[in-house]
A and B are shown apart, each in its own frame.
Chain A
Amino acid sequence: MKKYFLARLVQLVPILFGITFLTFGMMQFAGDDAVDKIFEQAGSVSEEVKSAKRAQLGLDQPFIVQYANWLGGILTGEAGKSFISGKLVFETFVDKLPATIELMLVSILLTIFIATPLGILAAVNRNRPLDFFIRGLSFVGNSMPNFFCGLLLIYFLALKLNLLPIIGQSVVLPALTLTIAMGAKYTRQIRAVVLEELDKPYVTGARSRGVDEITILIKSVLRSTLVTIITLLALSIGSLLGGTAIVETIFMWDGVGKMAVDAILMRDYPLIQAYVVWMAIIYVAINLAADLLYHWLDPRVRYGDSS
């Protein structure tokens, strides 16, 4: 296990290098009109002032030098200052991160607690009305863009029924928005896994020995569902991270997603770079963790291929 873990860590080095290079290159490619943007409100500003600002921000140096400086900054947590606020981008990012983590955790927990029973219920009632109903719900959730879903929830739950506060206070509506899309996928997969498991010989064996269905479900089927949920979590964390950007913007939730969208509109490149790099690193780290957990839970894949 330890050897496998170390091997995986070594594999990550070129990937992290690639992530940072690509992110930096992308923003560089975007041009340096950030300085123009900063002075936009000030009206006409002389070229000297602008180039002084460029020098101050380090924008006049060659690409590789800028990249090396910036990479050093990322590693020490001092990756540049925001063009707009002048604060260290890492600090801003760390400031906003807890709100996003809260939103993600609530969504994940809601999803697991809603999708697991729904998926199992659908599988147990295969091809009966309840199964069709749950599959219908899952299909609708899967075809609904999260921005439409969020606006519908605001309109019906907050504006029409006055059930919940809309903006920036309660985590319920933004989390529910993310849960609907994610839960739809989970329900479907969990149903498929439970169906597959219920078809296996050991279940038939248990049934023939007179073990009741509930015991079979809890003792055997739930364990395989757990492995599925971990796989699903690793797979869906990417779309969840992307989803937070849209949902946070709709609900004015003060997390890193909204920060990034605002930064893009302001052309605040250092902040966008920090956002993309850290999101990718979080994504890679979560995938690694899920992988290790998966190996630990399912001995069949343990020490298997490490490709």
Chain B
Amino acid sequence: MKKLIPYFAAAGILIFVAVFANFLTPFDPYAQNLSDALTPPNAQNLLGTDRYGRDVLSRVIVGSQTTLCASLLLLATISIVGSLIGALCGFHGGKLDGFLMRLSDIFLAFPQMVFAIAAAGALGGGLLNAAAALAIIGWPKYARISRGLVLSIRSMPYFDAAKMAGSSSTKILFVHVLPNIAGTLLVTAALDVGTIIMELAGLSFLGLGAQPPTAEWGAMMNNGRSMLQTAPWVIFAPGTAIFITVATFNLLGDKLRDFFGRTE
């Protein structure tokens, strides 16, 4: 457990910055100042300014709120809803199980990002719609995993023992089943944080997620694309921010998986 602390601390710092972003920015991330447009990094604007003269560092900090908070909320929603659906299916079986699993088959037959791009496009762009698109295609994975786990628990002696002892099915689900599958689901979710961040930022990068002037890492990179040669810092700053965040959560996920003793 002790070994995990530095990784939790690193992720904690990123989340802290994201939550309190508004108090941490040196400048107003939305204040335009055209006379200072495209200034390279210097003592005042540590990461330079973009084409509207906005401070890139401030926008990266506020962007972490948009990108990271949205990704984590999205992942929490997908993993909890998906897992509950899967657990209920595995627990009760029957027609509902059959229907939901066939439905998940259909969603799993789409390449994830292809579906997300089209769905976000159909919904009309915007961060919320992009997140909704990823949620629609994301839940079946968790439903599948948790259903499989529940089915394996149903064959355990303690499950039968709890049943014979007369526990209600709600009690069995919440006391005996869910705590025992939480570890695997948590590891799966932790390993997914990086992917979700990249997908959400990717949709924004294509113009299907957060819209300008919102400070969001993917959208910032999209806006800076045409000035790659003259003002690379406008792209490198948010790009590096995505990389560091994804790397941190990937490391945390790896360590959590090792901790729970599961291999890929």
Contacts and interface: CB of A to CB of B under 8 A. Distances in A.
A265 B251 CA distance: 36
B76 interface: no
A264 B221 contact: no
A264 B118 contact: yes
A143 B208 CA distance: 22
Contacts, number: 140
Contacts of A265: 121, 207
Interface residues of B, number: 45
Contacts of A264: 117-118, 120-121, 208
A26 B119 contact: yes
B118 A238 contact: no
A147 B202 contact: yes
B116 to A, nearest CB: 7
Nearest to A269: B122
A154 B122 CA distance: 31
Contact of B110 (A19, A155, A189): A19
Interface in B180-225: 194, 198, 201-202, 205-208, 218, 221, 225
Given A145-B198, A264-B208, A280-B109, A242 B235 contact: no
Main SS of the interface on chain A? helix
B221 A147 contact: yes
Residue from the set A15, A143, A241, A272 with the largest chain B CB neighbour count within 10 Å: A143
Interface in A209-258: 237-239, 241-243, 245-246, 249-250
Contact of A242 (B105, B109, B114, B225): B114
Given A139-B247, A246-B202, A280-B109, A155 B232 contact: yes
A283 B206 CA distance: 22
B243 A18 contact: no
A261 B117 contact: yes
B35 interface: no
A27 B206 CA distance: 19
Nearest to B246: A143
B122 A144 contact: no
B123 A276 contact: no
Contacts of A147: 201-202, 205, 218, 221
23 contacts: A14-B105, A14-B106, A19-B106, A22-B110, A26-B118, A139-B251, A140-B247, A145-B202, A145-B205, A145-B243, A146-B198, A147-B202, A147-B218, A155-B229, A159-B229, A192-B264, A238-B113, A242-B113, A245-B113, A245-B114, A264-B121, A279-B114, A280-B115
Interface of A: 14-15, 18-19, 22-23, 26-27, 29-30, 139-140, 142-148, 151-152, 154-155, 159, 189, 192, 237-239, 241-243, 245-246, 249-250, 260-261, 263-265, 269, 272, 275-276, 279-280, 283-284
Nearest first, the 6 A-B pairs at minimum CB distance are A242-B113, A264-B121, A18-B106, A148-B239, A30-B122, A143-B247
Given A19-B109, A143-B250, 15 more contacts: A22-B107, A22-B110, A30-B122, A142-B194, A143-B247, A145-B242, A238-B113, A239-B113, A242-B117, A243-B113, A246-B202, A261-B117, A275-B114, A280-B109, A280-B110
